[in-house]
A and B are shown apart, each in its own frame.
Chain A
Amino acid sequence: MKKTAFYGALTVAGFAASMASAATLDDVKERGVLNCGVTTGLVGFASPDANGVWDGFDVGVCRAVAAAVLGDSDAVEFVPTTGKTRFTALASGEIDMLARNTTWTFSRDVDLKFEFVGINYYDGQGFLVPRDLGVSSAKELDGATVCIQTGTTTELNLADYFRSNNISYEPVPIETNAEGQQQYLAGACDVYTTDASGLAATRAAFENPADHVVLPEIVSKEPLGPLVRHGDNDWADVVRWSLNALIAAEELGVTSANIEELAAAPTGNPEVNRLLGTEGELGAMLGLEADWAKNAIAAGGNYGELFEKNIGENTPIGLARGLNAQWTDGGLLYSPPFR
C-alpha cells in the first residue's frame, strides 16, 4: 500500500500538492484526526507530560478545533515541528494547521502564502534583570551587558530600542534559550532579553525566582496565532471561529463548568444561544454540527480557563493577562460577534 502510493506520488506530486489545499475540512472529517503542528516543546504552550499526553496553551487551540470539527478533543495527531520545519510542514500538507507560537508578520502572511486566522497570545520582547541591579525601567540600562539570541528579530529590536533611547549596551551572543539561562545565572550578562512569555518561563525555572524581575517595558510586537494554508477559506473560517468561540465564551461567561447547563436549552442571552447552537444555524454555515462551539469550549474551557490552567498566574510560569485580557478588561482580545 505504502509502496504503491509512493510510485503514484512520483507522477502526481505536482498536482496533488495544489489539489490538497482545496478541502482540508473534508480531509480532516474523512481522516477522523486533525493533524496539528506544535512546537517540540515550550513551557506552558506545548509539551508532552510523563505519559506522553500533550498539554499546553497552543495545544488547547488544537484540541478546541478538533472538538469543533470532529466532536472529540483527543482526535488530534500532534506533529512536533521546529522553527525550521514548521512552515514547510504546513505548506506541504503534512499538517492541517499550525499552532506553534508563531509571530504574525507581513512576509509570513503574504510572501509565504499562509493565512493567520487570529491571535491567541499577544507577546512582546521584554527584559529580565536581577533584583540586586536596582533597575526599575529599561531606560536605566545604559552600558549594560545583554544576553541575546543571535540571528533573531529580538536582536534587531534590541538595537532599535537602545538607539532610539540614546543609550548603549554590550551584546553577549548566545545560541539557545538554555544557554541564555545559564549565562545569565552565571553573571555573564546583566540583562537577558527575549519574548516576555519566554522570560517568565525562564524565571520560573530559577532556584530563587523572586531575585529576578521582568522590567515593565515591552519593546516589540509579537502577536502569536494559529495559521493555515492560503487558498482554503472554508478551513480558515473553521479554525478562526473556533478560536473566536473560545474568546467569545470568556466574554459571555460561558465556562467548561456551566456549558452543559447553558447548552441544554436556549438561555436569555441570544448570542450565547447562537454560539452554543441552541438558536440559529451558525454550525451549518461552517459545515459543522450545531454544537461545534460547545464542543470546542468543553474541550479545555474558554480562553480564560486555558490561560489560567497553562500559563496563568497560578502556574509556575505566572503570566499576568496584560494585553491578553478581554477588551472589556482593558486588553486586546476582541472576538467579532457571533451573528
Chain B
Amino acid sequence: MSDTHAHSVAFVRTEPLPELPPPPGETGMVKWMQQNLFSSIPSSILTLVSLYVIYLLVAFVAPWMANGIWNTDSLAECRTALDGATGACFSVISERWNQLLFGFSYPTEFYWRPGLAFILLFVAAAPVMFFDLPRKMLIFTGLYPFIAFWLIWGGTIYTPLFALAGVVVGYLVYSRYVKDSFAMGFFGGVIAAFITWFIGGYIVDAIAPAEPFLEAVASRNMGGFMLNMILGVVCVSLSLPLGIVLALGRQSDMPIIKWICVVFIEFIRGVPLITLLFVANVVLAFFLPPGTTFDLILRVIIMITMFSAAYIAEVIRGGLAALPKGQYEAADSLGLDYAQAMRLIILPQALKISIPGIVNVAVGLFKDTVLVSVISMFDLLGMIRGPILSSTEWNGVYWELFMAASVLFFVVCYGISQYSQWLERRLATDHR
C-alpha cells in the first residue's frame, strides 16, 4: 500500500518551505504606525497635531540649545556674541557653577571637602541600599555622619568624636540593660548619650586647638545644591526611623504614647511646611538671647524632619494596616515578644508594602528643601533668585538657570525612583 501511495504522488517535499516575509504592511514600522498612530481618523488627526507640536518645540528649542554660549562674562556680552540669533546664555551656568553647587560664601579652596563628603555618601549608602554587599561596610555607614559633618563644617575633630562617643556610650548602656527591660535600656541609653554629650561639650571647649586641621565653615556660609543635598539626605534618613516609631506608637495600646503620636502626626500634617520653617527661622529667634546661634541649619533640619516623619508614619501605618491579622497572631503564637514580633515579622512585610509611599515622600521632601529659600537661606533656588539674578551681569537670565536647577533635581529624583523600583522587584516574594 505504501508503495502504491508513494508512486501515486509525483513529488514529496522532504523539508519545510522557507518562511516567506509577511505581506507588506503587516510588519515592521508600517504595521506599528498603522496600529498605534493611524488606527482611526481621530487618532490620525491627533498624531498629526502632536507631530506638529513636537516639531514646533524642537524647532524652537534645538537652535536655542545648539547656539548656546558658554564663555561670556555677562548677559550683555552674551547678547553681543549671539548678535541677534536665537541662543541660550549658558555662560551664566559656567560662570556661576560653583555658586550653584556650594553657595556664594563657602570658601573656594575648601570645595573639595563637600565634594569628598558627596562621594563618600555613595560608599556609605551602598550597603544600606544593596544588601548583597558585605555587611562589614555598615561600619563605615555608621561613621559616615560624623565624617561628613567634619568634612563639611570643619572645625575641631573632637566635636564629631565626642558626638560619636555619646552614641557609642548610649548603645553600650542600651545593650547592657535591654535584656531586663526595653524601656530601661532605651531611656538609659538616651540619658547616657546626653550626659556624654554634655560633658564632651565642656571638654571640647577646653581642648579644642586654635588652628584645627580643617578650618571651620559657619552654617550661614552653606548654600547651593549642597544645602539641598544636606537637608534632603539628613532629613530623609532621620525621618524614616522616627516615622516608624510614630507609626508603631499610633497603633500602641498604651493610651499616653498613642495620643502623643496621634497629636504629633495630626498637628504636623495639618500645618504647612513653610509655616514650620518660619517658626524655625523667625519665631525661635525671639526666644533665644541675641548672639546665640542655635544653628539655623539645625533648626531647619529639625522642622523638615518632623514634617516628613509625620507623613512617613502615615505611609507606614498604611503598610501595617495592610497586613492580615493572622501575621500578628502568628507572631504571638510563636511566643515572640513585641520587639521581636515587630522586628522579625511585622515590619519587614509592612515596610515592603510601604516602599512606593516612602519613596514618594522622600522625593517630595527633597524637592521641598527649596522652600528654605523663602527664609533667606541660599539653597539652589535661593542662589538663583537672589544673588545671581540680582547681579548686574546676569539680571534677566531665567530659562537657563531654572533649567539647570531642574536638571540637577531631576537627576537625583529620577535616581531615587529607579532605585525604589529595583528594590520592589528585588523584594518581590509573591508570584504575581
Contact = CB atoms under 8 A, between A and B. Distances in A.
Interface of A: 1-6, 8-10, 12-13, 16-17, 20, 27, 31, 39-44, 46-52, 79-82, 84-85, 88-89, 91-94, 178, 181-182, 201, 204-207, 315-317
Nearest to A311: B392
A13 B288 contact: yes
Nearest to B74: A316
Contact of B398 (A4, A12, A27, A178): A178
B289 A8 contact: yes
A89 B285 contact: yes
B390 A3 contact: no
A40 B387 contact: yes
Given A50-B95, A88-B285, A43 B395 contact: yes
Top 5 A-B pairs ranked by shortest CB distance?
A: A205-B396, A93-B290, A41-B390, A16-B289, A40-B386
Contact of A52 (B76, B104, B285, B287): B104
B209 interface: no
Nearest to B296: A94
Contacts of A204: 392, 395
A89 B283 CA distance: 10
Contact of A41 (B79, B108, B385): B385
B293 A84 contact: no
Interface of B: 75-76, 79, 95-96, 99, 104-105, 108, 197-198, 201, 205, 220, 278, 281-283, 285-295, 373-376, 378, 382, 385-392, 395-396, 398
B390 A42 contact: yes
Given A43-B391, A85-B282, A207-B79, A6 B294 contact: yes
A2 B294 contact: yes
Given A9-B294, A80-B386, A178-B398, A17 B391 contact: no
Nearest to A4: B201
Nearest to A95: B290
A79 B219 CA distance: 12
A205 B74 CA distance: 11
A174 to B, nearest CB: 14
A9 B299 CA distance: 15
Contacts of A50: 95-96, 99, 391
Contacts of A178: 385, 389, 398
Contacts of A79: 220, 376
Contacts of B382: 40
Given A47-B386, A82-B376, 12 more contacts: A9-B289, A39-B390, A40-B386, A40-B387, A41-B391, A43-B392, A48-B387, A50-B391, A88-B283, A88-B285, A93-B290, A205-B396
A49 to B, nearest CB: 6
A316 B74 CA distance: 11
Contacts of A92: 282, 285-286, 288, 290
B374 A82 contact: yes
B220 to A, nearest CB: 8
Contacts, number: 135
Contact of B290 (A20, A41, A42, A207): A20
Contacts of A84: 278, 374-375
Contacts of A91: 286
Contacts of A8: 289
A91 B75 CA distance: 38
13 contacts: A3-B198, A13-B286, A40-B390, A41-B390, A46-B390, A48-B105, A52-B104, A82-B376, A88-B285, A93-B291, A206-B396, A316-B392, A317-B392
B99 A316 contact: no
Given A9-B294, A48-B387, A20 B289 contact: yes
A9 B292 contact: yes
Contacts of B395: 43, 201, 204-205, 316
B294 A81 contact: no
A17 B293 contact: no
- Of B281, B286, B288, B382, the most chain A CB neighbours within 10 A belong to B288
A131 B157 CA distance: 63
A17 B289 contact: yes
A31 B292 CA distance: 13
A298 B245 CA distance: 60
A2 B295 contact: yes
A85 B396 contact: no
A81 B376 contact: yes
Contacts of A5: 289, 292, 294
Contact of B75 (A88, A182, A205): A205
Given A43-B392, A47-B387, A316-B76, A94 B285 contact: yes
A273 B382 CA distance: 46
Contacts of A93: 285, 290-291
B392 A9 contact: no
A9 B293 contact: no
A51 B220 CA distance: 16
Contacts of B197: 3
A191 B208 CA distance: 61
Nearest to B395: A205
